[in-house]
Amino acid sequence: MYRRDRQPRAPRSLPLPNWIEPVYRRCLVCSSPFVANEELERVPLGRRLAFDPDRGRLWVVCGTCRRWSLMPIDARWEALDELEKLTRDRARLLSQTDNIALLRAGRIEVVRVGRAQRTEEAWWRYGRELAARRRKWKQLGTVGTVAAGAVVLGGWAAGGVSLFGIWLIMNNGGDTLRDGARWLRFGTSAWRGEERCPSCDHPFRALDYRDRHGVGLFPGSGDGDVDLVARCPRCGLYRDAGLRLTGDEATRTLRRILAYHHFAGASEQRVRTASRLIQEAGSASDLQRIVVRDGKRLGDLGRTGGIALEIAANERNEQHLLELELAELEAHWRREEELASIIDGELTPLPLLEQMRRTLKAAV
């Protein structure tokens, strides 16, 4: 069995500057060795670092216990300069609160205390993904099933279709390789569950992708939330009856349906226009609110509106996950900053001395 205390894993043997004494090469809390990074010359330690340029603090965040190790004060300054330069010139902002920002530069993540001055660019990530989907889709269209094996060898496997997948497609899938690849990836239903029509009690067990064009999008109860509504096949009612998905279930199903709907991806031009729509709306939530304001069928969205909605839905999801992580990071920062201020000697014991002096004086 693997025992960390008996078989410590050495950090990668990049040349470490002399100032990093052995004690600082490991987490101060759990003693796990920090992995080396190649992004920073002055702090080649750790995959996640935290720094506060105003107070001059620098921590390496442990990948095992997630606690923060304060680096020695005399060796911080040049490292802080390097980190500030890295986050200013090369890092991408992932998310931020009023107190801390989480940024990514190459393979490392940096928590910067203080608000970062840069615009949120997250939707360009999804933009790039949509453009990549389009290239793969085109690639699928240029080959017949006979050449499918060649596609696999050509790297399509990385995109989600294995040789076994090709076999499945040929036996179960749609008429073309594209249909089959989509079926293989998504299956037939965007949602499965147990719901009943509030009007006629008709049971709903699934929402199939092939019915997606008729799915209604309506404002949900949360900020920018979207409810999904399917017409009841028995009583014919819609909106106030039929199947209504809300909250997280609606969000998950919507993202799935949109990914299916845009299996062919989008051109860079369209992604750029869609991204601009989100920017002009103000945020991903604002875009969703505007798009579904009066209720709309998915089939009536139009190409650009649909792409914008997919980017916004993914962006909101990513933001949500980051916010959870950021709240945790902020709690860490508060605790570690308190400790750092003591370690760095800013909290002189004056109040305590003053109290003792008064006590003595009263006694005299």
For Zn ion, the binding residues (CB under 5 A) are: 27, 29-30, 32, 62, 64-65, 197, 199-200, 202, 232, 234-235
CB proximity list for 220: less than 8 A, separation 6 or greater: 226, 227, 246, 247, 250
Closest by CA to 60, choosing from 82, 45, 75, 74, is 45
Would you tell me the crossing angle of helices 268-281 and 123-141 to the nearest 10 degrees?
150
- Token pair for residue 261? 């709907």
Rounded least distance, CB 289 to Zn ion, Å: 28
Residue with smaller CB distance to Zn ion, 177 or 232: 232
Residue with smaller CB distance to Zn ion, 70 or 277: 70
Entry field: residues in the chain: 364
Residue with smaller CB distance to Zn ion, 189 or 199: 199
Beta bridge partners of 70: 59
Residue with smaller CB distance to Zn ion, 44 or 46: 46
Gap between the Cα atoms of 249 and 300, Å rounded: 22
Rounded least distance, CB 323 to Zn ion, Å: 24
Rounded least distance, CB 179 to Zn ion, Å: 31
Residue with smaller CB distance to Zn ion, 111 or 291: 111
Gap between the Cα atoms of 74 and 354, Å rounded: 30
Rounded least distance, CB 206 to Zn ion, Å: 16
Rounded least distance, CB 27 to Zn ion, Å: 3
**DSSP 8-state assignment for residue 102:** E
SS3 149: helix
